[in-house]
Amino acid sequence: MVARPLSAKDRNAVKRLHAQGKSRNDIARAIKRSPSTVSKLAAEQGLTFDRAPQVEAATAVRKADLAARRAQFAERLQDIAEREADKMSAPTLYWEWGGKDHKYAEKTAAEPIPGDRRSIMSIIATAVDRSIKLVPPRDDAGAESRSVIGDLIAGLATDYAARHGGPPPEPEEPEAADDDAP
């Protein structure tokens, strides 16, 4: 089978479809050529199929979306832990069905029995632990502020040096007051 020669129509179609944001494979299907031929025609015209900026932007958006979802889920886990903690000292209904006559009996206790309290504590611990793993607490919010201020001061010093040809002068110490003055 002999390959069809490349035409101006092929070149124009590649240029037009590329401008529309079509991928190399989409263009190849549209003009009934191989992807390598499309790449060759695009390269001749200085066109590329580098989508790194779009992929990077899409990845950043996806990461932000996932972070928001993790934060929402961490809040749900915290809510679960708080609801369970409320049960630790709440009146609790205990019931049983049995005996030789298969009777139903129930009793309300002032709070859960120790075994149930242990189970509740386990649920609380698991929910809080998972919540913290999803969205770790910030132990030192001041460190971030100090970092921002430090970056600001460094930027101002760099700007001063660029405009004045050297670092800013050191601040002068105030003169000490004369103790013998009237």
Q: Tens place of pLDDT for every residue, the chain, 182 residues? A: 667 888 899 999 999 999 998 889 999 999 999 999 999 999 999 988 877 777 788 888 999 999 999 999 999 999 999 999 999 999 999 999 888 888 999 999 999 999 999 999 999 999 999 999 998 887 665 666 667 777 777 777 787 788 888 877 777 776 665 555 55
Structure tokens that stand for 99 in this block: 């005996």
Three-class SS state of 47: coil
Question: What does pTM read for this prediction?
Answer: 0.48
The number of angstroms, rounded, from the C-alpha of 37 to the middle of its chain's C-alpha atoms is 40
Which tokens hold the place of 138?
């910030």
| Residues shown for the chain | 182
Question: What pLDDT, on a 0 to 100 scale, did the predictor assign at position 166?
Answer: 80
Q: Alpha-carbon torsion 59, 61, 62, 67, what sign?
A: positive
In this structure, which amino acid lies at residue 127?
A
Q: Using alpha carbons, select from 49, 44, 46, 45 the residue that is nearest to residue 28.
A: 49
Q: How far is the C-alpha of 87 from the C-alpha of 124, rounded, in Å?
A: 11
Q: Yes or no: say if 107 and 94 are a contact pair by the CB < 8 Å rule.
A: yes
Quote the pLDDT of residue 144: 60
**Confidence at residue 15, expressed as pLDDT on a 0 to 100 scale:** 93
